[in-house]
Every structure is written in structure tokens, then in C-alpha cells.
Amino acid sequence: SGMFTFDPGYTSTASCKSGITYIDGDKGELLYRGYPIDELAEQGDFLETCHLLLYGDLPTREQYEDFENRVTYHTMIHEQMSRFFTGFRRDAHPMAIMVGVVGALAAFYHDSTDISDPMQRDIAALRMIAKMPTIAAMAYKYSIGQPFVYPRNELNYAHNFLYMCFAVPCEEYKIDPVLARAMDRIFILHADHEQNASTSTVRLAGSSGANPFACIASGIACLWGPAHGGANEAALNMLQEIGTVDRIPEYIDRAKDKDDPFRLMGFGHRVYKNYDPRAKVMQKTAREVLDLVGVQDDPLLQVAQELEKIALEDPYFVDRKLYPNIDFYSGITLKALGFPTSMFTVLFAIARTVGWIAQWKEMIADPDQKIGRPRQLYIGPARRDYVPIQDR
Ligand code: CMC
């Protein structure tokens, strides 16, 4: 017994102190260690964003090179792990494979499971950041029946990932720098977002002292849901289902109808009650990529832009402060980059890994850290006596 605050969905509970990411939902502002997200996405790169999130500051040139070397040292996965992939059906959802393979890392890197040693915690972080693109690309290659492609460490993080996904053995591989840049930017935009559901899951799992690979696997599992990381996949499916601009009003009406479970995917956010600053950068990136791959008139982009315009003028969305979130435009961009929708959430997982692991490290290093253990309001039956089966 006792007095608890009843706060389902934790809309008014701060679960921790954190110095990593700041969101002002009313202003539509997102800062990583104080730096605005649009400045990082437009001027920085993903690896320096990783350094920033993990260690608190942007790296100097020298620190950058050192960090890059330390990350690329870990890009391979144990060769034995390739058997893990071939044990799955070819049509397995790549997120299912990610949960399994990432959790299994603990079986291969025993040294990094010692969380009492700060140096091992750091190595675990580097391993995870380095191996996620490799694992994700292998999941993709397996799903389309192509051979796995080993990482190439002289390419940058995003470029290497695209290479591992789209290179085929007997052909020279080339990618336009605009596309590699777009991938890098998508990774920056998704890198952290304070105490979202998957990050809270990682922290809760980590609060018991579980090893970091297991914690990240639990984060991946949480991210899979359509209300969270699965929203970009759901948003693109929705745009495809709508198909043409003339069908938009029908879907707007459905989204407003309380008897219809349909929601506008890629719209609304628990924290942002203003335009999601990531969606602004994402919209610009979408246009750049579509221009380059020659689909300026992509009907999906037209539907998205028109849908946004109509919704932003509709009192239902205005009153509830529902704006496009990052997922609204990311799906269109990822499709243009050549990814199937089943990979969208996987790409989100690659990017968010640094946020998860930075938050996990912050938590473990906190001397006041204790196991996360929410309470409940019990609404089940009162005490009653056991009845033998023949008397029920
Ligand atoms: N379409 C139509 N109505 C909506 C939508 C939407 N997308 N989002 C919220 N509403 C309505 C909701 O019905 C409610 O109306 P009322 O007050 O009349 O009952 C009101 O707005 C408040 O919604 P809520 O569900 O109480 O808000 P929440 O903070 O619990 O939900 C959300 C946030 C993101 C889950 C929700 O907006 C949603 O389901 N959006 C669509 C899915 C989506 O795009 N998710 C990606 C989130 S951003 C990336 C990430 O975090 O992974």
C-alpha cells in the first residue's frame, strides 16, 4: 500500500536526469548537447554527432580521426554470426532478425558484458555503433538472396552502409554523394530523442544491470511498434494507399472520425506541439533526393505535401496541435534511396543506437542509479480462498 502518482504513459513523470538531449515541444526545438538539430544535420556528419552524444562535445580534427579509427576497428562481426542469419526464413521481417542478432552479440563479446568497467562500457558502445550497419545490411542482403558484403572502412559511416546494402560482387559500385549525404543526415536526425519509448526501454532494461547488447536488443524490440519507429513504414504505406491528391479528403475525414481507428501516420507527437524541427530538414532532404533520382513529380511527395497543407489548415489538427513529425517525409526519402519499406525501421534502429548507448552509459555512470521499478494501481479481485478443481 502507499500513495502513488497515477501516470499511465508517463505524460508527466521525469524518469531520470539527463544531459544529452533537450526538447522544447512548444517551440519545436531539439538540441543535442546544446546544438540545434538543423545545424548538426546541415553542417555536421553522423560520426561527429556520435562523438557529441557519447562524450559531450564535438570532436577536434584529431579527436575525430581517433574516434573514426576506434569505430571502424569494430565494423566486422564475428564470422560465425553469419550462420545466425541463414537460420531465419528469407521472408523474415528484418526487425525480427535485428532483435535476435543484436541480442546474440552478448554471446560473442563477453568482455563487453562486464558493465562495472568504464573502458569496457566504452568499447561496448563503439562495438554497437560500428556493427549495427553491418548487421542491418546483412539482414537486407539475406532477405533478397544476395551474398553478404563486408564493410569498407575507408568509406564514411553512411556511405559504407549503402555500399554493404547495394553493392553486388561483379559490378563496380558507385553512389552519388548527395545520396550518401542524405543517408548520413537521416542518421543524424534520428540519433537521439531523450526519453522516448525505446530509450526508456533501454534504460529500464539497463537499470537491472543487464548487459548492453541485451539492453539495445530490447530497445530495438520497442522501436518496432507502429506508434514509434514503425511509423515511417506506416506513413509511406498510408501515402501509397491514398495514392492520388483527390482521395486526401476521404482520409482526413477518417482521421477525424473517433469511431474509426485510422490516424494520419507521421502526424502528431507526444512532445512536439509545434512543427517537428526534424521534419523540416527531412522535407528538404526528400526533395534533394527525389530531384537527383529523377522523380521530381513523385505522386507520393505530391500527396504528402497536399496532405500536410490540408491538415495544417483543418481545425481538428490545429486545435490538437498535430503537425507532421519526422516520419512523414522520411519514408518517401528512404524509398527513393532504394530501400524496401520493411527496412525503414531498421535504419531508424541504426541511427538511434548511439542515443540508446549514450543514455545507457550516462545511467550506469550515475552513482544514484537504481533499478527502475514502477508501481501500479491494483484493480483485480480482492483476496479470496482457493477452491479445489472439483468444486469450481
Ligand atoms: N491522426 C489523427 N488524430 C490524432 C493523431 C493522428 N496522427 N495523433 C493524435 N491524434 C488525436 C487523438 O485522437 C487525440 O484526440 P482527442 O483528444 O480528440 O481524443 C489527440 O489527438 C491527442 O492524441 P493522443 O493519442 O492522446 O496523443 P499521444 O501523445 O498519446 O500520441 C502519437 C502521440 C505520436 C502516438 C500520436 O500522435 C500518433 O499515433 N501519431 C501517428 C503515429 C506516428 O506518426 N508516430 C510517430 C511518432 S514520432 C517518431 C517516433 O517517436 O518514433
Query: Which residues' Cβ are closer than 6 Å to ligand 1?
Result: 196, 227-229, 231, 255, 263-270, 320, 322, 325-327
pLDDT single digits (tens) 257-314 = 999 999 999 999 989 999 899 999 999 998 899 888 876 667 888 899 899 999 999 9
> Which has the closest alpha carbon to 140: 378, 1, 347, 388?
347
pLDDT score recorded for residue 114: 85
Ligand 1 pocket mutation, candidates 320, 321, 346, criterion most atoms within 8 A of CB: 320
Residue spans in the chain of domains classed CATH 1.10.230.10 = 231-337
3-state secondary structure (DSSP) of residue 329: helix
pLDDT score recorded for residue 195: 97
- Supply the residue whose CA is at minimum distance from atom 50 of ligand 1: 228
**Contact yes or no for 267/327 (Cβ under 8 A):** no
CA of 274 to the centre of ligand 1 (A): 13
Ranges under pLDDT 70 in the chain: 1-2, 295-297
Distance CA 235, CA 14 (A): 29
Ligand 1 pocket mutation, candidates 260, 322, 328, 345, criterion most atoms within 8 A of CB: 322
CA of 148 to the centre of ligand 1 (A): 39
Mean pLDDT, the chain, whole residue set: 94
> Which has the closest alpha carbon to 346: 129, 173, 98, 110?
98
**Contact yes or no for 255/315 (Cβ under 8 A):** no
Q: Which CATH architecture has domain 18-224+343-365?
A: Orthogonal Bundle (1.10)
- Supply the residue whose CA is at minimum distance from atom 44 of ligand 1: 266
306, burial (CB in 10 Å: exposed 0-12, middle 13-18, buried 19+): middle
Ligand 1 atom closest to the Cα of residue 268 is 37
- Supply the residue whose CA is at minimum distance from atom 36 of ligand 1: 268
- Tally of residues, the chain: 392
CA of 11 to the centre of ligand 1 (A): 13
- Supply the residue whose CA is at minimum distance from atom 24 of ligand 1: 270
Distance CA 258, CA 116 (A): 50
CA of 248 to the centre of ligand 1 (A): 19
Ligand 1 pocket mutation, candidates 224, 232, 239, 267, criterion most atoms within 8 A of CB: 267
pLDDT score recorded for residue 300: 85
**Catalytic residue IDs:** 269, 327
201's grid cell: 526501454
Ligand 1 atom closest to the Cα of residue 197 is 51
Ligand 1 pocket mutation, candidates 271, 325, 330, criterion most atoms within 8 A of CB: 325
Ligand 1 atom closest to the Cα of residue 230 is 52
Ligand 1 atom closest to the Cα of residue 9 is 30
Q: Which residues of 38-47 are buried (b: 16+ CB within 10 A; e: fewer)?
A: bebbeebbbb
Q: Which CATH number fits domain 231-337: 1.10.3470.10, 1.10.230.10, 3.10.520.10, 1.10.3720.10?
A: 1.10.230.10
- Supply the residue whose CA is at minimum distance from atom 12 of ligand 1: 320
CA of 265 to the centre of ligand 1 (A): 9
- Supply the residue whose CA is at minimum distance from atom 17 of ligand 1: 320
Q: Please list the alpha-helical segments (H only) found in the chain.
A: 37-43, 46-55, 61-72, 82-86, 94-104, 118-143, 157-166, 177-189, 197-206, 212-223, 231-242, 248-256, 277-292, 299-313, 315-319, 327-337, 344-365
What does 286-316 look like in DSSP terms, one character per residue?
A: HHHHHHHTT-TT-HHHHHHHHHHHHHHHSHH
Distance CA 142, CA 89 (A): 9
- Supply the residue whose CA is at minimum distance from atom 20 of ligand 1: 320
289's CB contacts (< 8 A; 6+ apart) are 178, 179, 182, 333, 336, 337
Distance CA 365, CA 359 (A): 10
CA of 323 to the centre of ligand 1 (A): 10
pLDDT score recorded for residue 169: 85
Residue spans in the chain of domains classed CATH 1.10.580.10 = 18-224+343-365
CA of 241 to the centre of ligand 1 (A): 20
Distance CA 278, CA 31 (A): 11
CA of 327 to the centre of ligand 1 (A): 13
> Which has the closest alpha carbon to 136: 345, 325, 327?
345
